[in-house]
Amino acid sequence: MTAPVQLPVPSEGEVTVLMPVWRGDRPERFAQALASATIEQTEPPAELVLVIDGPLGEGLEAVVAQVEDGAFGPARVVRASAHEGLARALQRGLEACRTDIIARADADDLCRPQRLALQRSAMEQGGLDLLSSAMQEFSDSTPRGGGALRTRPLAHQEILDYLPRHSPFHHPAVMLRRSTALAVGGYRALDFLEDYWLWERMLLGGARSANLPEVLVDYRVDADLFARRGGWRMFVSDLRLQRIFRADGLIGPGMLALNLARRAAYRFAPGWLRRIGYRLVVERMR
């Protein structure tokens, strides 16, 4: 029986890419996302931590086998026997990472080649704990570089001012410090909003933050994206998170009412109107 390959322990300052995958992902997109976040980077990560959230189909397992064979560089695979959801998958991965600097990546978006180099440099020079960047949308009908931009406030104080109204970071483009995230409890289960809740706890806990103006991730937008962002289940998560913000002192009763009114209008609008609303409201709230 062949002994498992012993991976070298990453050095201080090196980066781990953390990527979850589940049965709903598509093998060809998964393989492209993996390559973009690892071997296609100008400064490849020290390691990839791939979290498998429950059973996968044959096509996805074939890509995982490539990961285990080293096709995407040094990697470790963390498996959950049953589908547990994104928050639990990411928490498993966060706990498994061996570097303090972690770059989040999704299994269908594409990182631009300079992403890790630019973000790592900014993290170190700015003494940052939490950093994201702009993203640009693409789809099967819209090529990379041709879609709408998604931006967020750049400076730390602007981010703090923006936090009560909307998530100030793009999750697929985030780089964070593992120690800072774990100190506030890491990812906790909250449907669709586990990232926003983590940012709130990190920032209230004193995390230093910024956003880069450069587009470092191409964000895949399929036909159903905005349809999935609506409905009662999403609004219930909104309600829970806004109550947490109120209890934490981030917002007062007036902002609570205003935020819930805005989110109700957004969640219960038709999908086509929700797309327009995102462009006109969220992207212009800065």
How far apart are the C-alpha atoms of 102 and 13, rounded to whole Å? 10
Q: How many domains is the chain built from?
A: 2
Q: What Cα–Cα distance (Å) separates residue 96 from each residue in 151, 165, 250?
A: 30, 32, 31
Supply the pLDDT for residue 265.
87
- Which alpha helices (DSSP H) does 212-252 contain, by range? 225-228, 232-247
Do 183 and 196 belong together in one domain? yes
> Does 218 reside within a domain?
yes
Domain of 279, in residue numbers: 224-286
β partners of residue 52:
21, 79
- C-alpha 244/C-alpha 247 separation (Å) is 5
The answer to whether position 215 is within a domain reads: yes
- In this structure, what token pair is assigned to residue 12? 């201080």
Q: Count how many residues are written for the chain.
A: 286
pLDDT tens track for 113-131: 999 999 999 999 999 999 9
Q: Considering 173, 192, 222, which residue would you say is the last residue of a domain? A: 222
User: Domain check: are 26 and 44 in the same one?
Assistant: yes
Domain annotation covers residue 9? no
In the numeric block, the tokens 């690892």 are attached to: 38
Looking at 202, 222, 242, which one is the last position of a domain?
222
d(CA 123, CA 154): 13
Is residue 267 assigned to a domain?
Answer: yes
**Is residue 195 domain-shared with residue 245, that is, in the same domain?**
no
The reply to whether 48 and 89 lie within a common domain is yes
Say if 2 falls within a structural domain.
no
Considering the domain architecture, whether residues 199 and 255 belong to the same structural domain is answered as no
Domain match, 206 and 239 both = no
Choose one of 204, 222, 240: the last residue of a domain: 222
Nearest partner of 50 among 31, 118, 259, judged by Cα: 31
Give the burial class of 127: count Cβ atoms within 10 A of its Cβ; 0-12 exposed, 13-18 middle, 19 or more buried.
Answer: exposed
pLDDT score, position 12: 61
Instruction: Say if residue 254 is in the same domain as residue 215.
Output: no
The verdict on residue 283 lying in a domain is yes
Q: What is the model's pLDDT at position 4?
A: 43
Residues 68 and 155 in one domain: yes
Is 4 among the domain residues?
no
What pLDDT was estimated at residue 140?
85
Q: Evaluate whether residue 147 is within a structural domain.
A: yes
Same domain membership, residue 160 and residue 251:
no
| 264 shares a domain with 197 | no
Specify the pLDDT at position 5: 47
Could you tell me the mean pLDDT of each successive run of 10 residues in the chain, 286 residues long? Answer: 50 87 97 98 98 97 98 97 95 97 97 98 97 95 90 98 97 98 97 96 98 97 68 90 97 97 85 61 56
Q: What is the CATH number of the domain that holds 144?
A: 3.90.550.10
Tell whether 23 and 40 lie within a shared domain.
yes
Residues 228 and 218 in one domain: no
